[in-house]
Every structure is written in C-alpha cells, then in structure tokens.
Amino acid sequence: MNFKGKDIVSIRDLSREDIDQVLDLAERMIPYAKGEIFTKALDGRILANLFFEPSTRTHMSFSTAMSRLGGRTMEMAHPSMMSVAKGETLTDTIRMVESYSDVIVLRHPHEGSARLAAHFSSKPVINAGDGAGQHPTQTLLDLFTIRREFKRIEDVKVALVGDLKYGRTVHSLAEALTMFGAEVTFVAPANLQMPRETVRQVEKLGGKPKLTSKLEEVIKEVDVLYVTRIQKERFPDPAEYQKIAGVYRIDNDLLREAKRDLIVMHPLPRVDEIAPEVDGTEHARYFVQAFNGVPVRMALLLLVLGGEL
Amino acid sequence: MNFKGKDIVSIRDLSREDIDQVLDLAERMIPYAKGEIFTKALDGRILANLFFEPSTRTHMSFSTAMSRLGGRTMEMAHPSMMSVAKGETLTDTIRMVESYSDVIVLRHPHEGSARLAAHFSSKPVINAGDGAGQHPTQTLLDLFTIRREFKRIEDVKVALVGDLKYGRTVHSLAEALTMFGAEVTFVAPANLQMPRETVRQVEKLGGKPKLTSKLEEVIKEVDVLYVTRIQKERFPDPAEYQKIAGVYRIDNDLLREAKRDLIVMHPLPRVDEIAPEVDGTEHARYFVQAFNGVPVRMALLLLVLGGEL
Amino acid sequence: MNFKGKDIVSIRDLSREDIDQVLDLAERMIPYAKGEIFTKALDGRILANLFFEPSTRTHMSFSTAMSRLGGRTMEMAHPSMMSVAKGETLTDTIRMVESYSDVIVLRHPHEGSARLAAHFSSKPVINAGDGAGQHPTQTLLDLFTIRREFKRIEDVKVALVGDLKYGRTVHSLAEALTMFGAEVTFVAPANLQMPRETVRQVEKLGGKPKLTSKLEEVIKEVDVLYVTRIQKERFPDPAEYQKIAGVYRIDNDLLREAKRDLIVMHPLPRVDEIAPEVDGTEHARYFVQAFNGVPVRMALLLLVLGGEL
C-alpha cells in the first residue's frame, strides 16, 4: 500500500504486507531513533499532538519521532489549549487543526473518534488510542518488539496475561499476532478473560488459542509474557483484587521456570504487575518496547507524509 | 511603516497603508502556510507564547506560523509554567520573557496588558487579545479573508451579527472595515447592539452604519455575514436567551434568501450560531478564515523580526 | 573534567576548575544567547524537560538555551503529560524518558530525586532543583553574574539577605562563593539565619562569614546584595511576618548608603523584597541575572552533549 496521505485508524485496516512495510522501515529508523545519525526528512512539516486525555508514553514518543525526523510538533494537549470548554465539537476542532498542521495524532476518550476525525480531515490522522477502540501504533510496536527479538513472529508462543477483558490493546494484538502466525495463550482470571468475540476472531484467522487462569501452566512453554495491568476498579472487593493481582505478578521466582530466552513485555506504565527485581534480568524487554515506539512511529510518519530519507 | 522591532498592540496603531503591507505579505505567505513550499526565514529565532488564558486557535496558529517560517516557539501557557501563583507582576514576567525570546505573543484577561507589556519589553510584543481590549491579529485575518474573497474590501457589504455590545473584536473590525470603505450593518438584539461610541467612530471614519435587529431585512443585500457568539450569561432568563439565539442562528433556510456569493464568517469556536448543514455549502468561509490566521501571523512575525524570504 | 555524558546533580560534584570551564564557555555563549549570532551545534538533539513542579524561569531558560543551540525540547511538564497519576515510579519514568531524549532536565519536589534519576539514566541528567536539595544551574548562573560584573569573584563582598535557613539555593551559593574566595555575610532575622552546618562548611573552605540581622550594618561595605524571598508561611503570626519583610525590603533609601557599584541580585520571582523603584537604578542586576541563565545552561548542554561550536 502507498501510505502517503492515508489515515491510521485501526490495525485492521492494514494487511500483513502493509504491516511488514512499516516494520521494515522501522528497522531502518533505529539508529535515527537513538540519535546516532541524523535526518531532515520531515524538515518543515508539522505534527499536531491532539490529546484529549493524557498518555505520556504515546505522546512523548510521537514528539520524539517527529523531532528525530527533523519535523516540528504543535501541542494541543489536555487541558491547556482546549476550546472544548467553550463547547466546540470534535469535528470543528479537527477542521481547525488540519489547517495548522500536516499530520494529526489524536488521543480521545471516546471509541470511534479517530474514524470520525479521519473522515473530516484532509490531512492524515493517526489514532493514538480512542477509548475502548483501537490503538494501532501500540500494536505495531508490540509486533516490532517481538519480531526484533526472535527474527520472526511466526510460531512464537505469546501468553497475554492479566486483564484481557477490558484491556483495549490486547484484543487487537491477539488478532494481529495470529495473522502473523504466532501461537497465542490467554492467561487471566475468569472474570477478566478474553471476550468470546476476540477468541472467535482469532480462530477465524487460523489460531488455536489456549485459555487458562494459571500462569504456572504455561510459563515453561512460552517465548513472550505480555503482561497488562489489572485495574482495581474491576473488583468490588479490594481483598479479591489483592489476591488476583498477587497471582499474576511476575517476579524472579516465576521466571526461574521460564525458557532462557523468554521476554517479558508490558505497555507501561506498570504498577505492581512486574516486580522491580525483574528489571535487571535478561528477560525484561518492557523498556526496549517503550523505546521501540520511536522507530515505529517514525516509520509511520515518514510513510503517511511521503518523506524520503 | 518599517515594522521591524515594532509592537502590535492595537489595530488603531496601524494606518491603511500599514495594513495593506501586512495583507500583501500575507498573500505571499499562503503557499508556505499550507506547507507546499518551505522557508527558513526565521531560523534561530524564538517566539514566546505567553498565554494567561486559553485561546486555542490564536495560540496554535501563532505556533504554526512560527514553525512554517523555520523559527521556534517557547510555551509559557496557562497554567503549566506560571510563576504567577507566586505573585509575580506582569512587568516582571515580561522582563524575564524578553530575555528568553525574540518576540512575545501575549494573551491576557485584562485590558491594557499588552500596552503595558510593550512598554516594558525591548522585544516586539504582539497582542493576542487582552480582555475587553484589542485583538489586532484577529482583525487583520478578518480583513484578509474578505479581501481574498472579493479582491477588494471597498464597497463590500458586511453585516456584523450577534453580540455586538460585548464582542471584543467586532468593535475594532467595524472601524477597520469602514476605514477600507466597506459598508457595515449591525444586526443584533436591542440589548446587545453596537455601543454608541463605536457607531460614532464608524461615522467619523465616513461610514453610514445601518442598525437593525432583523436579519431577514439585510440578508438579501449583504456580501458577508460576520457571525459572533451570543453568550448565555448576558441573559438573566434562559428562555429569553434560547429565543434570541434561535433568531440569529444561520441555517440553509436563511441562506436561500442570500446572494449567491455571500460568505459566512465566524471567529470560532461556534456553539449553535451556525448550523452544521451550512458547512457543506459554498457560503461557509469560517474554516478558511481560521486557516488565514496562519499567513497573516506569518506576515506579522516576518515584519516585526525583520526576516527575509 | 570532560563533561561529555556527565550528570549535573550537585554543585559539590564540580571542582573550581570545572566551574571555571563552564563559566568560560558561558561567556562565549552570550551573543548566541541574545540571538545576535546563530549556531546549529546541537541540531538533531533532544532535551526532555521533566518538571514535576512548576519553575518558570528555569524551565523557559533551558528551553531557550536548547533552541539557541539548534536543538529541540520535549515537554513533560506538570501536570499535562504525567502518567504519574497512574502510579508510575520516578525510576520507570526516567527509563522511559531516556529512550526519548539525549539529555534530561529534572525538577522534582523531593530531595535526592536527581541523584536517583542520574543513577538510572544512561543519558545525562541535569538537576533543575530537587526540593530542599540542590539547584546547581542556579548557583552557576549566580557565580557567572558576579564574575561578569566584577571581572572576578575573589574578594568580592557578598551579602546574602533574607531567608537563609530554608532558602534552598543560598546554602550551595555560600559554599561556592567561598570556594572562589568571595567574602560572605549572612543577613537574616534570627529565626531564619544560615544553618550551622553551612556556616561550618564555609569556615572549612577558608571563609570567615559574618552573621547579622541588621542590613544597615553591612550596606556600606558590600559589593553584592543577594536577596531572597522570606516566605509568609514561616511565620505563625502575620504581623510578625509583615514587620520582618519590611525590615529586609530593598529600596532606594537603603541603596543611597551603598557603594556606587553595588549590585542587587535576586533569583526571582520576587514579591515585595525589592521595591520596583530599584529596577530603574544602576544597582539592579536581577533581570540580567535571569538572562544569564541562558548562556550558562547553553554551556552546560554543549558540554554534557559533547557539541561543538
């Protein structure tokens, strides 16, 4: 696909070939992302960071990505610059922002906002998370992290762990992993297991997902532990939350059972899901994963803006 | 006038020739403002965005204008970076900011702030709205929008509609339009009509303003409907507000009576003053008007900083 | 010392030679800081402004310093972009930010935060104030201001005035001044005098500090009045605060007693410590001091990032 001028609203809009194209370019972006070499590929271009709710990592990594490409960012972040208090609609805001920028990165609390924005904007819109909807750049950087680590995604055994019911990004990730031939396992307490709809979607894509509530059942086999936060608010009883959170906490005791080259991923920020003692082990990959947001977002920006290295 | 080093505090400080100079240069800025061609005219220069209250459109369009000219912006926006909580005076703040930048864009809730700031700053100060005072760059972009549309301002028939009593910018706009030979009509409910002082000022400038409360009386004749927001707070009785707001709402029914090339303008954000159905018509010009803030502000920045294309 | 890659956590980590190296380079930075000449020395580099509490002057002058060197800044300022609400630890935040930038400027309310951050970050961390801890760039710009004024620091007579007990930066400044051979006097009400520990440290460095509560005793002799804010909160009785604040207020009456070339310094923002009438005298140096933050911070950034002019 020729990405120039395209919106990036949902990972489902991208074919396997499209994703490979992004990840291949992201690979080339690594030394630029690290600040080892420099480019002015997007000199003169402006990215509008339109964040209706905070999202530190996504926000900063888009800014960094644009800067590393020689472009500028304009901040329109919650709550500092918002006219919304005066009652402006999202579509009016978008039609203003498109006048002031070359690409719009949108974070919004409501599902479907990115699709709406993309419809009204003549400039490319990149969805940086819209409520319970999609967060395609997170999925891309997750795929990129696994691909970089194992030199492939096919046949890699990935356990998605934690809140799989409400966790926005794990649904898209499960599908995307399956599309690339990974073997997915869903590890969650019964009340937070993967929704049926996603399980069926994975099966439709040819996957044979294993579902379990027991981490110890899968820890010896898997290559990737993709850990997500379990939110206190999901549990009416705090004691119940504490118990569950304890069971799914990743620590060195657990990791002694794991394959030597197992990697632990997490979209961050973490609270207690991964013990700090894991940080120093060779399993920890969540900080690398956070960094990978930069080259992946650089690749996307370069593609949708038609920049050349 | 040689603008280099000059403050832009009030539209009244500018002669007709000065304004033409800005608008002519703004015309040349269009392709740069759109990001079609690039310039480094203000490379190395720093604009300080000093916003003591939010104003999204003005704020963003100044940032974009500076970026499109290759310059940098430094944000000192409400409420994130403010020492004001510690009790600093505006003059102390200005004397700090002038050390850290080459031009200061000031938005402040109190009338007269921009004049005060300009007095104390050795760097040019551009007034981005000071309470019930002036907002000269808004006036300039309004004039620019009309001039681009009709290839002239002289003899263009402009109806200013809505809250003309408290609406900060319509007073300056009425005077400036008259100075350029436009014919102005003031359409407002009795309690929100144009203040006598402004009417007299317009007359002194040679204008013969028509005052009416009935939109339908003028809709067939005018070339421009300049719509402003009617604020709920002006009406003690909510029912009264609803009634008035309904009467001055612009929709396709009303526009069927209009000249074919009538344009609808609005400083934005709008609430209910213009029906969304108008957006798709050839009358809508408010989004173009918002974009025009970029080339006009680029022209001003280039002039006061003495940059060259 | 080769500063490249080094953290700047405490002024105590720097030798006299190190400080001279910074101040010598800051001297060369002056015309760049003023925007008279331009450099792209840090083109492509990214500074992360990580401010967990507001500090306008420090924040803006770091941004300006980076811009004047051709680099970019990324804002992660309280409270707009913070994941901290979600409970992330400082060390996790730092490990994210280091992925997205080349140098981190950290302001944090807790003492020791900068040391902790420096420990975890592979990129240089510059302490921009950590609670009751250090604020080394403030000390450097204070030294720079005196050195520029008197062409030396040795033997310059400096009176530190106001809240010397809690005032974060005056402790480091007293020590640093003594290290350079200045003669320090501590002028404060009894309950806000310099802590014993600092007095001893100054003596250990060879100083013979004079302590007094009476400004009139020293006003005739000193070359520098370094004034700090006395905070209302330190006094249970508001009347007592008013009395003390009045006694230590600098005005033209007091300055008539002073040496002709005495300079008045203040880290700003001021409240009532210095009468506005002083601004117009040849004694006022606090605005120059604020400006000096730019060349000093430029020098540090250039050194820790290994940039070349």
Domains of chain C: 11-134+292-304 (3.40.50.1370), 137-289 (3.40.50.1370)
A57-79 exposure pattern, b = at least 16 Cβ within 10 A, e = fewer: bbbbbbbbbbbbbbbbbbbbbbb
Looking at chain C, the whole-number percentage of residues with pLDDT higher than 90 is 83
Confidence of residue A244 (pLDDT cuts 50, 70, 90): confident
Looking at chain A, the whole-number percentage of residues with pLDDT higher than 70 is 97
How many alpha carbons fall within 13 Å on the CB side of residue B253?
7
| A92 → chain B, closest CA residue | B269
| Arithmetic mean of pLDDT, C233-247 | 85
| Arithmetic mean of pLDDT, C245-274 | 94
Pairing of strands B224-227, C263-265: unpaired
Residue of C38, C60, C269 lying closest to B81 (CB–CB):
C60
Interface residues of chain C, partner chain A, Cβ below 8 Å: 43-46, 48, 72, 74-76, 80-83, 85-88, 91-93, 95-97, 99-102
Q: How many Å separate Cα C101 from the centre of its chain?
A: 24
The pLDDT value recorded for residue B133 is: 82
Average pLDDT of chain C to the nearest whole number: 94
Task: Assess whether pLDDT exceeds 90 at residue C237.
Answer: no
Q: What is the pLDDT of residues B40-87, one digit of tens each?
A: 999 999 999 999 888 889 999 999 999 999 999 999 876 655 655 457
The pLDDT value recorded for residue C246 is: 87
| A93 → chain B, closest CA residue | B269
- Output the pTM of the full model: 0.96
The pLDDT value recorded for residue C83 is: 55
Distance from CA of A109 to the nearest CA of B (A): 20
C31-61 exposure pattern, b = at least 16 Cβ within 10 A, e = fewer: ebbebeeebebbebbbbbbbbbebbbbbbbb
Task: Assess whether pLDDT exceeds 90 at residue C247.
Answer: no
Q: What is the pLDDT of residues B166-191, one digit of tens each?
A: 877 899 999 999 999 999 999 999 99
Confidence of residue A240 (pLDDT cuts 50, 70, 90): confident
The pLDDT value recorded for residue B79 is: 61
Phi-psi region of A233 (alpha: psi -120 to 50; beta: other; left: phi over 0): alpha
In DSSP terms, C50 is beta-bridged to C76, C106
Confidence of residue A243 (pLDDT cuts 50, 70, 90): confident
Cα C111–Cα C114–Cα C120 angle in degrees, nearest 5: 130
What residue spans of chain A are helical by DSSP H? 16-33, 56-68, 90-97, 113-120, 136-150, 168-179, 196-204, 215-218, 238-247, 252-255, 286-305
B33-60 exposure pattern, b = at least 16 Cβ within 10 A, e = fewer: bebeeebebbebbbbbbbbbebbbbbbb
Q: Crossing angle for the helix pair C90-97 and C113-120, nearest 10 degrees?
A: 50
| Arithmetic mean of pLDDT, B141-147 | 98
Task: Assess whether pLDDT exceeds 90 at residue C284.
Answer: yes
Please check whether residue C78 is in contact with residue C29, taking contact to mean a CB–CB distance below 8 angstroms: no
What number of C-beta contacts closer than 8 Å exist between B and C?
73
Confidence of residue C90 (pLDDT cuts 50, 70, 90): very high
B292-302 exposure pattern, b = at least 16 Cβ within 10 A, e = fewer: bbbbbbbbbbb
Instruction: Give the H or E element holding residue C293.
Output: helix C286-304
Residue of A35, A268, A276 lying closest to C96 (CB–CB):
A268
Q: What is the pLDDT of residues A67-110, one digit of tens each?
A: 999 999 999 876 655 655 457 899 999 999 999 999 999 999 99
All residues at 6 or more sequence positions from B48 whose CB lies less than 8 Å from its CB, including other chains: B73, B74, B76, B97, B100, B101, B103, B104, B105, C60
Least confident of A78-87, B113-122, B175-184, C4-13: A78-87
The pLDDT value recorded for residue B247 is: 87
Phi-psi region of C206 (alpha: psi -120 to 50; beta: other; left: phi over 0): left
Q: What is the pLDDT of residues C169-186, one digit of tens each?
A: 899 999 999 999 999 999
Please check whether residue C207 is in contact with residue C224, taking contact to mean a CB–CB distance below 8 angstroms: no
| Arithmetic mean of pLDDT, B28-46 | 98
CA atoms of A143 and A23, how far apart (whole Å)? 8
Residue of A43, A44, A81 lying closest to B54 (CB–CB):
A81
The pLDDT value recorded for residue C54 is: 85
Residue of A44, A92, A101 lying closest to B269 (CB–CB):
A92
The pLDDT value recorded for residue C72 is: 97
Distance from CA of B94 to the nearest CA of C (A): 10
Please check whether residue B118 is in contact with residue B125, taking contact to mean a CB–CB distance below 8 angstroms: yes
Mutate to test the interface with C, among B73, B76, B81 (most CBs of C within 10 A): B81
Confidence of residue C131 (pLDDT cuts 50, 70, 90): confident
Please check whether residue C156 is in contact with residue C146, taking contact to mean a CB–CB distance below 8 angstroms: yes
Interface residues of chain A, partner chain C, Cβ below 8 Å: 35, 38, 54-57, 59-61, 63-64, 67-68, 70, 75, 77-80, 268-271, 276, 287, 290-291, 294
Please check whether residue C98 is in contact with residue C123, taking contact to mean a CB–CB distance below 8 angstroms: yes
Distance from CA of A96 to the nearest CA of B (A): 7
| A103 → chain B, closest CA residue | B35
| Arithmetic mean of pLDDT, B132-142 | 94
Burial class (CB in 10 A: 0-12, 13-18, 19+), B186: buried
Q: What is the pLDDT of residues A155-202, one digit of tens each?
A: 999 999 999 998 778 999 999 999 999 999 999 999 999 999 999 999
Average pLDDT of chain A to the nearest whole number: 94
Closest to C92 (Cα-Cα) out of A272, A176, B26, A91: A272
Determine the straight-line distance between the first and last CA of chain A, rounded to whole angstroms. 18
Distance from CA of A270 to the nearest CA of C (A): 6
Confidence of residue C154 (pLDDT cuts 50, 70, 90): very high
Least confident of A56-65, B50-59, B281-290, B298-307: B50-59
In DSSP terms, A161 is beta-bridged to A187, A227
The pLDDT value recorded for residue C80 is: 55
Determine the straight-line distance between the first and last CA of chain B, rounded to whole angstroms. 18
The pLDDT value recorded for residue B83 is: 55
